[in-house]
Chains A and B, each alone.
Chain A
Amino acid sequence: MKNYFQNIWQSITTLLIGLGITIKHMFKARKGNVTLQYPEEKWPRPERNIGFDPKNYNIIRSKLHVDIDDCIGCRKCERACPVGCIKIDALKVPKETDLGLTSSGTTKRLLISRFDIDMTECMFCNLCTYPCPEDCIFMTGGPNSEKQPLDYEYSQYDRSRLIFKFANVTKNDIRRITTAPPVQQEIL
């Protein structure tokens, strides 16, 4: 009998405590709120309740971007990718052909005829960005954020539009550069 009433009493008190907590939350709902109203409010906003500044981010993982002018075609990123979403074709060019320098001063020796990144396959592990000797492949908003505007929103209606093609050489260019005089071809 004592147990019976004890049980009822316990139920009532513990349930009332629970009710108290929910009502307390209801009246200060705005305070503990972590909801982000997505299209209006976007993620790196400094006043988020932990109080982080986007500047304090070590890195932001987002869309991969390649500064193709700096790429020397070493294919290190292609090899580093665990899922193989980076596809590079680099063509050998005659020795005399001047492809220019990268921003850090390295001479470019290969013509990048294809540099495709399939973002539908990418798993955002960030492994491709570290081996790059020229720092030319990076996730936008990352350490090179000043080079590229921060952009998370790259949803598309068509899957093929998520395959980003970075190579900027035309077929004509390829033909012009690679078909050099036969003598030089032999030297190569």
Chain B
Amino acid sequence: MTIDNIIQWFQSWFPVNVMVLFITSVLIAAVVIFAIMAVNALVAVYAERKISAFMQDRVGPMGQGPGLHAGKWGLLQTIADTIKLILKEDIIPKAADKKLFIIAPFIIFLGAFIALAAMPFGPYLIASDMNIGIFYILAVSSFGVIGIILAAWSSDNKWSLYGGMRSAAQIISYEIPAALSLVSVLLLTSTLSMQGIIQSQAGTVWGFLPNWNIFNNPFSFLAFFIYFIAGVAETNRTPFDIPEAESELVAGFHTEYSGMRWAFFFLSEYGNMLVVCGLTVVAFLGGWQSPIAGVMEGAWWGLFWFLTKLTATIFIMIWFRWTFPRLRVDQLMNVAWKILLPIALFNLFGVAIWTLLVG
């Protein structure tokens, strides 16, 4: 359901001013996207806590939920957390730059929020299928770093400042390998539209594998890993979580935040995960395409496949987080500039040759 569809549908029933229709349908889309982000955060936080617990031989949250204490799995844990965060006191430090301090979490949130507008959740489920979709997502998803720097600077806290500086350097560096590996996908699909990229991945390749970009040729296979690693770095998660490195910077850029503002940082972290994983799924794993060509296709199956792939990639991110130690700042830069970037460039070249020779 793109916004254009909604406008047309409305217009056929209530022929009113186009501007009014436009605003209503954008609002509808916004509410839906916000709901997706909120639900994602609720589920992902719970999943992260449970998965980390199981990986560490613990039991994880058990308190809240049906069956209550030590009954069943603490299913309502994140809802309880949310209520707690809403009720908490919102502290603004005296020395903080108040305006920036207040606005920063929302800017970060905005980065993830507007990026989701071009995310195709199914064959028809997309807020806006623009013809530069992937470019748009790349552009706006790095918007969040401005929020991080603002939060870090306005808190007037040395730890926050460290976190902000690190984050800026990190996200800017990792944009490059990420973008380069996406460009190698674009060479294969020759379109920038998100739906177009997915549609070009229909069918099979090598006889039995789905024609996803990851299986298309060895170079794009490598590009997938480069993009995914760079994506993990862009979302500031372990092993690249140096902006908030708990054991070094206390809490990094959000040291001084509390209550609902802090929750927005959390929401946007998981929102960013959604964007990065969504982009991975679209660009490399065939979006809403079924893994077996021609079987279980359709609008709802598309949504199902997309969500399944999304869950799998998010799980891998969580898995990374609870296994790896953290890199140091200079090592992080080394990985980006000395390892990922050359390989990504080489890949781009390889994919170009491949498309020239094979397809």
The reply to whether the CB of B339 lies closer than 8 angstroms to some CB of chain A is yes
User: Would you list which residues of chain B between 307 and 322 have a CB under 8 Å from chain A?
Assistant: 319-320, 322
A37-B70, A40-B69 as given contacts; A22 in contact with B319, CB under 8 Å? yes
Q: Judging by beta carbons under 8 Å apart, are A25 and B54 in contact?
A: yes
Q: Is B8 an interface residue (CB 8 A)?
A: no
Query: Out of A18, A23, A34, A40, which one reaches B57, CB within 8 Å?
Result: A34
Q: Please give the distance in Å from B118's CB to the nearest CB on chain A.
A: 31
Are the CB atoms of A35 and B58 closer together than 8 Å? Answer: yes
In the complex with contacts A29-B54, A40-B70, A41-B70, A23-B319 CB distance below 8 A: yes
Q: What 0/1 pattern do residues 37 to 71 of A give for CB contact below 8 A with B?
A: 10111000000000000000000000000000000
* A residues at B contact (CB < 8 Å): 8, 15, 18-19, 21-23, 25-27, 29, 32-35, 37, 39-41
| A-side contacts of B323, CB under 8 Å | 15, 18-19, 21-22
Selected contact of A39 from candidates B54, B55, B70, B322, CB within 8 Å: B70
**Shortest CB distance A10–B (Å):** 12
- In the assembled complex, B299 has its CB within 8 A of some CB on chain A: no
Which residues from B are CB-within-8-Å of A37?
59, 62, 69-70
Residues in B neighbouring A32, C-beta threshold 8 A = 57
Prevailing SS type, chain B contact patch:
loop
Q: How far is the CA of A8 from the CA of B222 in the complex (A)?
A: 13
Residues of B within 8 A of A (CB): 51, 53-59, 62, 69-70, 319-320, 322-324, 339
* Chain B residues with CB under 8 A of A25: 54-57
> Which residues of chain A come closer than 8 Å to B51, judged between CB atoms?
26
A33→B58 contact, CB < 8 A: yes
A15 near B59: Cβ-Cβ < 8 Å: no
CA distance A34 to B53 in the complex (A): 12
- A selection of 8 A-B contacts at a CB cut-off of 8 Å is A18-B324, A19-B319, A19-B323, A23-B55, A26-B51, A33-B59, A37-B69, A37-B70
A26 to B315, CA, bound (A): 12
In the complex, are the beta carbons of A8 and B339 less than 8 A apart?
A: yes
A22 cross-chain contacts in B, Cβ below 8 A: 55, 319, 322-323
How far, in whole Å, are A15 and B225 apart by their CA atoms in the complex?
14
Report Cα–Cα, A181/B57, bound state, in Å: 72
